[in-house]
Amino acid sequence: MDTMRGDTIGADAPDVAAIAAAHRGSRAALIAILREVQAARGYLPEDALRAVARHTGRSLVDVYAVASFYHSFSLKPRGRHTVCACLGTACHVRGGQQVVEALSRELGVRAGETTPDGEFTLETANCLGACALGPVVVVDGRYFAKVNPGKVRRILSQARSGVAAPEAADGERALVTEAVCPECGRPLLDAARPIDGYPSLQVSAQCNGWRGRARISCVDGVLDGAPENAAALERVRLFCPHCSAGLNDLLRCGECGVPTVSVLAGDGALVQMCGCGEQRVRRAEVEGAGARREIAQLS
Amino acid sequence: MIHLTINGLGVSVEEGATLLEAAQSVGFPIPTLCHMEGLSPYGACRLCVVEVGEGARARLVSSCTYPAQEELVVRTASARVLRARRMVIELHLASCPQSKTIQDLASALGVRQQRFRQEQESCILCGRCVRMCAEQMMAGAIGFRGRGQSRSVGTPFDQPSDACRLCGGCLYVCPACELRCTYTEPEKAVCGGCANLQPPCVENGRFDQMMCYMDPCVACEIAAQRR
Ligand code: SF4
Ligand code: FES
Ligand code: FES
Ligand SMILES: [Zn+2]
Ligand SMILES: [Zn+2]
């Protein structure tokens, strides 16, 4: 779809009119319309919300209620980079709050605010779905695991010089090139024992009374070395071979519903692995830069 | 017709009736706060809880939103229900102690203590005003904004709304500010509006923050003329 950029928009908001028209001004499409408007303008300014109300035949207060309810909509201009720190339970107990405080000290803004120079928007989330890696900070779609206040400055300077966004987009397949135990930090990838030509993930596994070493293919997530019935990671508990920390996620595979294992790929993408062969990049549900990209790809 | 049992009594109601309506039709009282005749059911305050089902599967539901079902067994005043209601109203009382409506409900339910920290919330987010404005006044000038802790009722962007006709319907139905404090000067501090022995306004300063979406506020003007 053809949407104009934010700066040149007149009072009658032709860009919003075009987006609403593409949805035939449908009342049910409100969220979709707001997402597209935010993608085009970077945020949801007042004139755009008024135009959305006009073109969808809703009252302004309805549109405003939706726009102010969802975390992913922003009524204020956003920074070039989005820094999102997790304050979910798992990250919180490992010091997520201190990480947020360090970030906000470094940037001079509170959570939810944007720096005056328009560089950074600081956000918090209530679980980014990578609890085993906590405290988690996501910068422009790139995951940083096990963050502590001491690492904050380096992450920000990395962000300033532009973190390369993960190569694969949300939902795309990705190849894990680097994986460490979120608990002890020791490497899980073993280049010496490749499967399908790629280093494999070394784990301890436990399943129906059986317990032993196993390897997970980084190509298709299939568990190797466990009894036949465990091959699909189903009902298998996975542990770090070094420190025995649990590696299973709370997340479930979108394809088969089995709990997955999350690891970081070399480029900072969070990859969810499942023995059914699913291996997808999961993007944090932080909008802003990342989401803008994602929407840009859709349209 | 739907046949159900309320407190052991067989009751028949029209299809689509709520448990609240069914209970009221035979005279079982159920206290309500966010519910209001003429407005769509909303289920925000949870004061109208009743127990449905039997044995281990019995559960609490809000009667103002729960549709009557064939052969449903309902208890409107079991020990569990009363305990839940008392807790609910005690919490409401803590967030909005100045409301006469809430005080009366709490007193009727036998709440004699206040275990939670008192706040002077001017709104309990019952949504009566929002529904009044949209459903009866056909204006849609005010609505909910934000979520969670920062949820509030008001106009978009906090600006006077073009859709508002200053009807005052929102004030009229609000359980938190219906008897709003009208004090403007310290010597007239006790207006009696809140019927409190110790009016919270004396301790908390003027209730500017008492919600009022109208600019100028009709109720305040009227109160000022009366003085
Ligand atoms: S302003 Fe009054 S009527 Fe409106 S939601 Fe708050 S308490 Fe309810
Ligand atoms: S609690 Fe931080 S990712 Fe789940
Ligand atoms: S009266 Fe039923 S939830 Fe408020
Ligand atoms: Zn480990
Ligand atoms: Zn799967």
pLDDT band for A297, please (50, 70, 90 cuts).
Answer: very low
In a domain, B225, yes or no: yes
By the 10 Å C-beta count (0-12 exposed, 13-18 middle, 19+ buried), A246 is classed as: middle
A157 with A200, same domain: the answer is no
Given the DSSP bridges, would you call strands B152-154 and B73-75 parallel, antiparallel or unpaired?
unpaired
Cα separation, B165 vs B108, in Å, equals 37
- Is there a contact between A236 and A207 (Cβ–Cβ < 8 Å)? yes
Q: Which residue of A has its CA nearest to B151?
A: A69
In a domain, B187, yes or no: no
Q: Which of B52, B60, B64, B87 to mutate to test the pocket of ligand 3 (most atoms within 8 A of CB)?
A: B64
Of A49, A59, A71, the CB nearest to B163: A59
- Is there a contact between A240 and A190 (Cβ–Cβ < 8 Å)? no
Cα separation, A200 vs A176, in Å, equals 9
End-to-end CA distance of chain B: 54
In a domain, B30, yes or no: yes
B204 with B153, same domain: the answer is no
What ipTM was estimated for this complex? 0.75
Range of the domain at B143: 128-177
Single-letter residue type at A205: A
Average pLDDT, chain B: 82
Q: Token match 């509030």: residue?
A: B152
Pull the structure tokens for residue B81: 């229900």
In a domain, A100, yes or no: yes
Buried b (16+ CB within 10 A) or exposed e, B18-48: bbbbbbbeeebebbbbbbbeebebbbbbbbb
DSSP state of B160: P
What is the predicted pLDDT for the residue at A170? Answer: 59
Chain centroid, CA A141 distance in Å: 6
Cα separation, B200 vs B177, in Å, equals 13
Number of domains in chain B: 3
What is the predicted pLDDT for the residue at A134? Answer: 77
Q: Which range (A22-31, A144-153, A273-282) has the least confidence?
A: A273-282
A87 with A132, same domain: the answer is yes
A110 with A200, same domain: the answer is no
In a domain, B169, yes or no: yes
Q: What's phi and psi for A272, nearest 5 deg?
A: -100, 125
Cα distance from A121 to chain B (closest Cα, Å)?
19
**Helices A14-22, A30-41: inter-axial angle, 10-degree rounding:** 140
Chain B residues in contact with A64 by the CB 8 A cut-off are 143, 145, 156-157
What is the predicted pLDDT for the residue at B219? Answer: 46
What is the predicted pLDDT for the residue at A205? Answer: 80
In a domain, A258, yes or no: yes
Residues with Cβ–ion distance below 5 A, ligand 4: A 181, 183-184, 240, 242-243, 245
In a domain, A184, yes or no: no
pLDDT band for A66, please (50, 70, 90 cuts).
Answer: very high
Select from B61, B84, B75 the least CA-distant residue to B11.
B75
A210 with A257, same domain: the answer is yes
Average pLDDT, chain A: 75
Q: Is B96 in the pocket of ligand 1 (CB under 6 A)?
A: no
A111 with A209, same domain: the answer is no
Q: Is A130 in the pocket of ligand 2 (CB under 6 A)?
A: yes
Best residue in B125, B130, B131, B145 for a mutation probing chain A (most A CBs within 10 Å): B145
Three-state secondary structure call for residue B66 = coil
Q: Is B41 in the pocket of ligand 1 (CB under 6 A)?
A: no
B8 with B67, same domain: the answer is yes
Select from B181, B119, B184, B130 the least CA-distant residue to B155.
B130
Chain B residues in contact with A70 by the CB 8 A cut-off are 147
Cα separation, B73 vs B40, in Å, equals 24
Cα separation, A95 vs A10, in Å, equals 46
Question: Is B68 part of the contact surface with chain A (CB cutoff 8 Å)?
Answer: no
- Is there a contact between A205 and A214 (Cβ–Cβ < 8 Å)? yes
Q: For A48-59, what is each residue's pLDDT tens digit?
A: 999 999 988 889
Cα separation, B105 vs B95, in Å, equals 14
Per residue, the 3-state secondary structure of chain A, as one string, reads CCCCCHHHCCCCCHHHHHHHHHCCCCCCCHHHHHHHHHHHHCCCCHHHHHHHHHHHCCCHHHHHHHHHHCCCCCCCCCCCEEEEEECCHHHHHCCHHHHHHHHHHHHCCCCCCECCCCCEEEEEECCCCCHHHCCCEEECCEEECCCCHHHHHHHHHHHHCCCCCCCCCCCCECCCCCCECCCCCCECEEEEEEECCEEEEEEEEEECCEEEEEEECCCCCCEECCCHHHCCCCCCEEECCCCCCECEEEEECCCCCCEEEEEECCCCCEEEECCCCCEEEECCCCCCHHHHHHHHHHC
What is the predicted pLDDT for the residue at B77? Answer: 94
What is the predicted pLDDT for the residue at A228? Answer: 60
User: Which residue's CA is minimally distant from atom 8 of ligand 1?
Assistant: B126
In a domain, A177, yes or no: no
pLDDT band for A169, please (50, 70, 90 cuts).
Answer: low
Q: Which range (A68-77, A84-93, A171-180, A203-212) has the least confidence?
A: A171-180
What is the predicted pLDDT for the residue at A221? Answer: 66
CATH of the domain at B5: 3.10.20.740
Q: Is A270 in the pocket of ligand 2 (CB under 6 A)?
A: no
CATH of the domain at A137: 3.40.30.10
Given the DSSP bridges, would you call strands A248-252 and A137-139 parallel, antiparallel or unpaired?
unpaired
- Kindly determine whether residue B146 and residue A68, on different chains, have CB atoms separated by under 8 Å: yes
- Is there a contact between A257 and A245 (Cβ–Cβ < 8 Å)? no
A196 with A287, same domain: the answer is yes
Chain B residues in contact with A71 by the CB 8 A cut-off are 147
Of B141, B145, B157, the CB nearest to A65: B145
In a domain, A124, yes or no: yes
Range of the domain at A15: 2-69
- Kindly determine whether residue B161 and residue A61, on different chains, have CB atoms separated by under 8 Å: yes
Q: Is A84 in the pocket of ligand 2 (CB under 6 A)?
A: no
- Kindly determine whether residue B161 and residue A49, on different chains, have CB atoms separated by under 8 Å: no
Q: Is B102 in the pocket of ligand 1 (CB under 6 A)?
A: no
In a domain, B36, yes or no: yes
A292 with A195, same domain: the answer is yes
Q: For A209-254, what is each residue's pLDDT tens digit?
A: 778 888 877 766 666 776 665 545 456 777 888 888 777 765 566 6
A65 with A109, same domain: the answer is no
Torsion of CA A287, A98, A146, A243, to 10 degrees: -140
Q: Which of B167, B174, B214 to mutate to test the pocket of ligand 1 (most atoms within 8 A of CB)?
A: B174
pLDDT band for B144, please (50, 70, 90 cuts).
Answer: very high
A205 with A281, same domain: the answer is yes
Q: Is B154 in the pocket of ligand 1 (CB under 6 A)?
A: no
Q: Token match 């298709």: residue?
A: A220
Q: Which range (B27-31, B60-64, B114-118) has the least confidence?
A: B114-118
- Is there a contact between A175 and A205 (Cβ–Cβ < 8 Å)? no
Q: How many CA atoms lie within 13 A of B141 on its CB side?
A: 24
- Kindly determine whether residue A68 and residue B145, on different chains, have CB atoms separated by under 8 Å: yes
Task: Count CB pairs under 8 A between chains A and B.
Answer: 37
In a domain, B112, yes or no: no
Torsion of CA A44, A46, A52, A57, to 10 degrees: 150
Q: For A87-119, what is each residue's pLDDT tens digit?
A: 988 889 999 999 999 999 999 999 888 999 888
Q: Identify residues of A whose CB sits under 8 angstroms from chain B CBs.
A: 46, 49, 59-65, 68-71
Number of domains in chain A: 3
- Kindly determine whether residue A46 and residue B157, on different chains, have CB atoms separated by under 8 Å: yes
Q: Is B47 in the pocket of ligand 3 (CB under 6 A)?
A: yes
